[in-house]
Amino acid sequence: MTDDLAERFLVTLDLDGVADKAAFMERVVRALDLPYWFGRNWDALADSLTDDTVWPEPAVERGLLLVVRGWEEYARACPEEWETAREVFTEAADQMPGLSVALTLG
């Protein structure tokens, strides 16, 4: 797995228009192509981000760069949920050397 972010497998999590946890989780499922049994809760998200066996196949060898865009609207609409999402992203990236999460601005 590479430490070079440019070589990691890029996945974009587009949160434009997301205004609740259910929609957030659906976007996560689609972006990461998670299995049907994904629990659609914060613990399941943490488990999936720290288990490279459910990552897209190229990310297993190269590492995963998850770019989150359009998150500002969700953060304003659901600040407590967004704080939880940020904590999950941060903790997963801290635990998983091959995972980086980037929030885009604008």
| Whole-number Å distance between alpha carbons of 55 and 52 | 5
**pLDDT at residue 27, rounded to an integer:** 98
What single DSSP character describes residue 53? G
pLDDT in tens, 14-58: 999 999 999 999 999 999 999 999 999 999 999 999 999 999 999
- Give tens-digit pLDDT for 66-76: 999 999 999 99
pLDDT tens for 78-91 read: 999 999 999 999 99
> Between residues 21 and 5, which one has the greater pLDDT?
21
Q: Which helix (H) or strand (E) holds 36?
A: none
In angstroms, the Cα distances linking 14 to 1, 41, 89, 103 are: 25, 18, 15, 10
